[in-house]
Homo-oligomer: A and B are copies of this chain.
Amino acid sequence: MAGIDILFLSKEDVESLDLGLPEIMDVVELGLKAHGQKKVVMPSKDHLALAYPEKLFNILKGYVEPVNVAGVKVIGDFQKNYEYGLPSELALITLYRPETGAPFCILDGTLTTWMRTGAVTAVGAKYLAKQKPRLLGHIGVRGTAWYNVAMLDLLFDFEEIRVTSKRPESRERFAGEMSERLNKRVVVKETTEETVRDADIIIDASRLLEHEVLVKDEWVKPGALIQPYGAVLSVAPTLPFTVDKMFVDDWNQCQKSQYGQFAGLIQAGELRDEHISGEIGEVVAGVKPGRESQQERILFWHKGFAVSDIVLGNLAYQKAIEKGVGTLLSYYREPRDM
C-alpha cells in the first residue's frame, strides 16, 4: 500500500477558497436530490450534552452516493463562547473513502455550516416559495443569516428585505453590511411583527435559549413560506397544524434527535407523520409535490443534516486540491499488524 494522506483545511483555508454562492447552492441541491432519491445513508444526528442547552456537541454522519463520500461533522453549540471571542458553533468535518473507511480530508466546518444552512434555506425557498416573492422578512443576524439573505436575494432579487434581531447594534451592523453587498437597502425593524407581517418569505434564524413566540400564527399570510430552524421553539406552536403544508429535511432525524424547533411537539405525540407533506429532498427529486397554489401557507423546518455537510465539505476539498490550498498530512504510512 502507498500510505494514507489527509488534507487539512483550516477555517482560513476554507475562506481562501472563495466558494461562490451559486456553486454552494448547486452542490447542496445535489445533496438534497440524492436524499430524496434515497441515494444516501444517513442515520439521525445525535448529541453529546455536557450541559443542555449551554454546552453540547451535535454529531452528524452520513454517506452520499453521487459524490461517493462518507463524512462526520462534530459541531459544538457553546452559548458562552462570545466570552472567549469565539463563535458558539465551532465545527470539524472529516471525510472518508467508502471503500476502506480511510479519512482523506479534515476541514473546519464552521463556515461551511453557515453556507450549507443558507443554501438549504435558499433551495427550500426555490421549491416552496410562491412565484416572484417580493418581500423577505428575516429574524436573526448571526452566522447563517448572511448566507440566507444573500442566497435568497440571488434567487429572487427582492423588492424589500427586512431584518431584526435582539440587539440594535448587531442588526444595524448587519443591515449596513448587507445593503452594501447586495447593493439594495436592507431595512432594520424593531419588532418581529413589523419584520414578518406581509412577508412572502419568513426566515426565523433566531437562537433562543428558552421558548418565546417571535412569529405569531396570524402574521404568516396566505401564500407565505416560513422557515424557522432554531434549536428552541420560536414560533407559534400552532403553526405546524394551521399551515397548508409542512415540509422537513429528514423526518426520521426529526423524530430521533431530541433537540430542535418542533422536537417538543413530536415528543408530546402531537406532531406526527400525517402532518408532514414530505421531505425537501423528495420535492427536489420530483417524488413529491411542493407548492401547488399561490395561496398555500407552507412551513419548512430544516434541522440541518449530514448530507449537506458532506457534499459541501467535498466541494471545498476538491477546490483546495485544484488551488493547492491546505496542509497535506501523512496519516498512516506502514501497516503494523501484530
Copies in the assembly, this chain: 2
Q: Contact at B48–A12, with CB atoms within 8 Å?
A: no
A192 at the interface (CB under 8 A from B): no
A153 at the interface (CB under 8 A from B): no
Q: Contact at B74–A96, with CB atoms within 8 Å?
A: yes
Q: Contact at A74–B72, with CB atoms within 8 Å?
A: yes
A332 at the interface (CB under 8 A from B): yes
Cα distance, A75 to B102, chains bound together (Å)? 9
Chain B hits for A11, CB < 8 A: 331-333, 336
| A76-B50 contact given A10-B329, A10-B330, CB 8 Å threshold | no
Q: Determine how close the nearest CB of chain B comes to the CB of A145; give it in whole angstroms.
A: 7
A interface residues, how many (CB within 8 angstroms) = 65
Q: Contact at B100–A76, with CB atoms within 8 Å?
A: yes
Q: Contact at B86–A102, with CB atoms within 8 Å?
A: yes
Contact with B along A107-119 (1 / 0, CB 8 A): 0101100100000
| A103-B92 contact given A1-B85, A108-B331, CB 8 Å threshold | yes
Q: Contact at B90–A92, with CB atoms within 8 Å?
A: no
CB-contact partner of A142 in B46, B103, B143, B337, under 8 A: B337
Task: Determine which residue in A101, A102, A146 has the highest number of CB atoms from chain B within 10 A of its CB, and name it.
Answer: A101
A334 at the interface (CB under 8 A from B): yes
Q: Determine how close the nearest CB of chain B comes to the CB of A327; give it in whole angstroms.
A: 6
Cα distance, A332 to B11, chains bound together (Å)? 5
Give me 20 other A-B pairs in contact (C-beta within 8 A), A1-B84, A57-B70, A57-B96 excluded. A4-B86, A4-B90, A8-B329, A10-B329, A11-B331, A12-B332, A12-B333, A12-B334, A15-B336, A57-B72, A72-B74, A74-B96, A74-B103, A76-B101, A86-B335, A89-B101, A90-B103, A106-B106, A143-B337, A145-B338
Measured CB to CB, the residues of A under 8 A from B are 1, 4, 8, 10-12, 15, 41, 43, 46-50, 55, 57, 59, 61-63, 70, 72, 74-78, 81, 84-87, 89-90, 92, 94, 96, 98-103, 106, 108, 110-111, 114, 142-143, 145-146, 174, 177, 327, 329-338
9 pairs of residues in contact across A and B, judged by CB atoms under 8 Å: A1-B86, A43-B47, A46-B46, A48-B70, A55-B98, A76-B100, A84-B100, A92-B106, A110-B332
